[in-house]
Amino acid sequence: MQAIRAGVVYTASISPSYLVFGAVCGVASKQAGLSLIQAILLPALVFGGSSQVVLTSMLIAAAPIWVVIVSAMIVNSRMAVYSAIFSGWLRSAPQRVRYAVAPLLVDQTFVGVKGFSKDPQAQPEWLPFYFGSGLTLWMFWVFCNVIGYVAGTIVPAQWELDFVVPLSFVAVLAPIIKRLPMAIAAALGSILGTLFFALPLKLGLIAACFLGVAIAMIFDTVFQWTTQRSGSQ
Amino acid sequence: MDNTALWLAIIGAAAGTFGIRVSFLGPWARGQFPPWLERALSFAPAVIFAALITPMILRTGTDIPAAQLLPRLAAVAATLAWAWRFGGQVWPLVVGMAVLHLLKVCIG
């Protein structure tokens, strides 16, 4: 019980940023022409703000459906990393628990568990924390999307609340880019994302991702090689 | 966009995303990536998020006057600095939005 409550409290502590982000996603769903049912099912089933932003903006830009789906999946590809890490933590857990964990895998539940438990593989007490946090976040997320969909137009456009979306990714990137190879990866993403923005069929994000990751890996290899060399001298 | 296309996009993205989430949690998974894929995936968020937000910030594809760009860039810098120094999910956004509107008022 204690752990469930801790999870709910953790989600509540980060909820203000989700309120605005979710509402912005709801507004975007409306602009993309989704019905209310679709605007509920999108956050409920996809449960990932950045991919929802990509999906709706590509629908508005009339991109081909396969590009819409692949772009959304590329944005969510980082969840495969969480999936592998949780898989390690749940090595001895029953399969049904492992399946139950999967739908709630998002950045914040991952970060939350890492903050809650020092050794998630040895201490399964993080599981109630995870479900408490994840289910609360899921319900809140869908709720905020609906608020945005229904009432989003009440907020004056001059408030520029949609600018919260890029800002929240800046906040996510800040701790990541403290390492030089990651800073370079982000710089590559910035440049390629802008350069490829006008690519036909809205293929820019997919192209920027693959090329950016490839160049970042080449740079990282060189970087590791030079630091190893200077270390051995 | 007709309704069928919208449903296809939603269901396709939902199924694909669930596939990604369950990829290493299913009974088929041994919990190990090939090392090159692990490295590629470690770089992916930085590249993707930056590629996603830079055109949003710069309003790429529109004729935004430089005077309007300045408050946006200052807001990004403020959020970045705050999140770099103090971390967190809420305050960096409050600080960034405050800078945005403060400068918009100042520049007029």
- The ipTM of this complex is 0.89
Q: How far apart are CA B95 and CA A115, in angstroms?
A: 24
**The pLDDT of residue A72 is above 80:** yes
Mean pLDDT over each residue of chain A, to the nearest integer = 91
Contact residues for A177 (Cβ-Cβ < 8 A; gap 6+): A183, A186, B46
Residues A127, A8: contact at Cβ < 8 Å? Answer: no
Cross-chain Cβ contact B83/A165 below 8 Å: no
Prediction pTM value:
0.88
**The pLDDT of residue A120 is above 90:** no
Q: How far is CA A7 from the centre of its chain?
A: 19
Residues B46, A182: contact at Cβ < 8 Å? Answer: yes
Q: Whole-angstrom distance between the N-terminal and C-terminal Cα of chain A?
A: 56
**The pLDDT of residue A64 is above 90:** yes
Query: Which residues of chain B lie closer than 8 angstroms to A130, CB-CB?
Result: none
Interface test with B, best of A34, A140, A169, A203 (most B CBs within 10 A): A169
- Range in A196-210, B2-16, B28-42 with the lowest mean pLDDT: B28-42
Cross-chain Cβ contact B41/A80 below 8 Å: yes
Residues A55, B9: contact at Cβ < 8 Å? Answer: yes
Cross-chain Cβ contact A41/B10 below 8 Å: yes
What DSSP string runs through chain A?
Answer: -HHHHHHHHHHHHHHHHHHHHHHHHHHHHHHTT--HHHHHHHHHHH--HHHHHHHHHHHHTT--HHHHHHHHHHHTTTHHHHHHHHHHHTTTS-HHHHHHHGGG--HHHHHHHHHH-S-TTT-TTHHHHHHHHHHHHHHHHHHHHHHHHHHGGGS-GGG-GGGHHHHHHHHHHHHHTTSHHHHHHHHHHHHHHHHTTT-GGG-HHHHHHHHHHHHHHHHHHHHHHHHHHHHH-
**The pLDDT of residue A178 is above 60:** yes
Contact residues for A203 (Cβ-Cβ < 8 A; gap 6+): A67, A196
